[in-house]
Amino acid sequence: MKNLKRQFYSKNCNFVQQVIFAFSFICYLLVIVSCNESDNRMETEPPFFSEEDVRHEEKLNFYLYND
């Protein structure tokens, strides 16, 4: 009877270890894939001032300082 319990628990422990290993391996792969996708996708932020704003500022500076 004790032998059967030991075998049952050892088989369950092996199964649990395999499930944990498989789960951690899948998580590791997902992290690697998501990091590669974020590296490939370079997001460029729009400039704070648009070209129109810069031109408007230059015109204002011209009128203010050339009088």
pLDDT digits (tens, 9 = 90+) for 10-57: 777 888 899 999 999 999 999 888 877 665 566 666 677 788 888 999
Predicted local distance difference test score (pLDDT) of residue 35: 78
Beta carbons within 8 Å of 49's beta carbon, 6+ residues apart? 57
Q: Residues in the chain, how many? A: 67
Whole-angstrom distance, CA of residue 66 vs CA of residue 58: 12
Distance of CA 36 to the CA centre of its chain: 9
b/e 29-45 (16+ beta carbons within 10 angstroms → b): eeeeeeeeeeeeeeeee
Sign for the pseudo-dihedral over CA of 50, 51, 52, 56: positive
The residue-averaged pLDDT of 4-14 equals 71
pTM of the model: 0.45
